[in-house]
A and B are shown apart, each in its own frame.
Chain A
Amino acid sequence: MDSRKWRLFYFGPMDRTPVIVGVGLSEYPKAPDLDAVQHHSLAMQRALADCGIPKREIDGYICAGGSGGMMVDDAVTMSEYLRIDHRYVDSTMTGGSSFEFHVQHGAAAIRDGACDTILVTYGSDQLSRMGRMLGTGGFQRGGSRVAGPMQYEAPYGNSLVGAYAMAARRHMHEFGTTSEQLAEIAVGVREFATLNPKAIYRDPITVDDVVNSRMIADPLHKLDCCAITDGGGAFIMTTAERARDLAQPPVYVLGAAGAQTHWNISQMPDYTTTAGAKAGPEAFARAGLTPDDVDMIMFYDSFTITVLLLLESVGFCKRGEGGPFVAEGHLKRGGKLPLNTDGGGLSSCHPGMRGIFLIIEAVRQLRGQAGEVQVPDCNVALAAGSGGWLSAIGVAILGKEHP
């Protein structure tokens, strides 16, 4: 037992409010010299350096894995590779939203005392390894045998984009949402990307550019779809007590929740809403906040429709009103609810499971370290991840002030 623990033992309970203290990114959008495991490793090094916590102090590890390809990057393998001496491990894998679930789980573990300091890592070399065919070439090919629930979908040749397109089509049918309204999301996120020197797409775009770009799967155009990049990230969670003498100010986990309605797209119970309708209100209740208290949002923007459905289901506008809400410009630079200030998955960085970048950019904003894209007076940020095909939604509300 180290001296800090003896101190706790003798001096009673400490402030176990969960905080995020260190964040790190590996390299993006293209890093041909890094494989997935190196992305994990580099991100960890940078997150440790960011907050000044020594590696030996990490006693919890959370890793979704999922980089795909030949690399094995699941929690147990990465725990060995990084040699994490953990007494708490979590391998929750809900696709791109895994990291919002990780915040929920990590916060509970820290509060509970299961561990004191948790490392979360992610890495993917998807662009360098696979190229850009994932969205429309990554599903099963002819000649294969498909087992499990996907056997009922594979014969029909749906694509990743097509799955989201079915949700967009239904939303348009029920609520009159237009392609132009969806395009506003891509335009706003692109404006932030123009200010991020690392973003994969940095030229400004207009609504016309989006709706005139090639149709990939009706009604989603090329510019309704996220980029495909390499990238990795890591963050470190600990107690508010431990955070008192670190290099960076803590960012507090005010409330986090997750829920799931389905996994495969054919099983989505309602194509116009998501499990955010459960996770959003629960995260707000835990934080004791309402959507009006949120200063900026980091939303999973695999596709423009993903953002629209999250806005409605998490609670920033009424069901069916996402289109007009977006068209009013709230999500853009200078708006009342800026979205994805790093340039998002649509224009900056989307290595396959983007959820960790939502947390990292939210932390950067809450610390006041976002430079040119800094949201003024940013006290509360909300990250909403969508995993699978609008399937598993994780919501994390983070704040600058101690709750």
Chain B
Amino acid sequence: MTSTEVVRGEEWLRPKPAKDPVSTPYWEAAARGELLIQHCPSCGNRQWYPRAVCTACGESPEWEQASGRGTVHTFTIIRQNYAKPFRDLLPYVVAMIELEEGPMVMGNVTDIEADDVQIGMPVEVYMVEAEEGLGVPFWRPAKS
């Protein structure tokens, strides 16, 4: 599995995730260009966001690297947000991405005019480094 692009060196003005024991591997993997989801060895359930338990059966899930490919399940174009830095980014797209592996993840779809985003559109992940060891997944239209 190839690692995805990681954009480094840009000033990060957005809210930062507060790493915790469960989320730390997720954010650290993203900083390396890997999108992680969780897979339950007991029942096979796959889930996002990461948790200490499988939401289906309650067992302990394991990490699994996702392909980083998915489609837009639903989205909105944010046209009003008074909070910094988002007020300077308007309009932008917040979407739920349905991963090839099944789970849905939230993210922004970039590198496309907001009005051109459509449900069902194939997208691929890229990472932006918020700080050392903390990468955040973003999405752009799939190249192929």
Contact = CB atoms under 8 A, between A and B. Distances in A.
Interface string B78-106: 11111111100100101110000000111
A274 to B, nearest CB: 15
Interface residues of A, number: 42
A92 interface: no
Interface in A143-171: 143-147, 149, 151-159, 161-162, 165-167, 169-170
A91 interface: no
A169 B78 contact: no
A197 interface: no
A271 B74 contact: yes
B75 A166 contact: yes
Contacts, number: 127
A217 interface: yes
B49 A149 contact: yes
A304 to B, nearest CB: 14
Interface in B4-35: 13-18, 20, 23
A362 B75 CA distance: 35
B107 interface: yes
A195 interface: no
Contact of B78 (A147, A154, A214, A217): A217
A152 B78 contact: no
Contact of B73 (A165, A214, A271): A271
A10 B85 CA distance: 69
Contacts of B74: 166-167, 169-170, 173, 271
B140 to A, nearest CB: 14
B108 A218 contact: no
Given A162-B76, A169-B119, A140 B15 contact: yes
A141 B48 CA distance: 23
B119 A173 contact: yes
Contacts of A159: 78, 80-81
A70 B104 CA distance: 36
A262 to B, nearest CB: 10
12 contacts: A133-B82, A137-B82, A141-B84, A151-B17, A155-B17, A157-B92, A157-B94, A162-B76, A167-B74, A170-B119, A216-B79, A217-B78
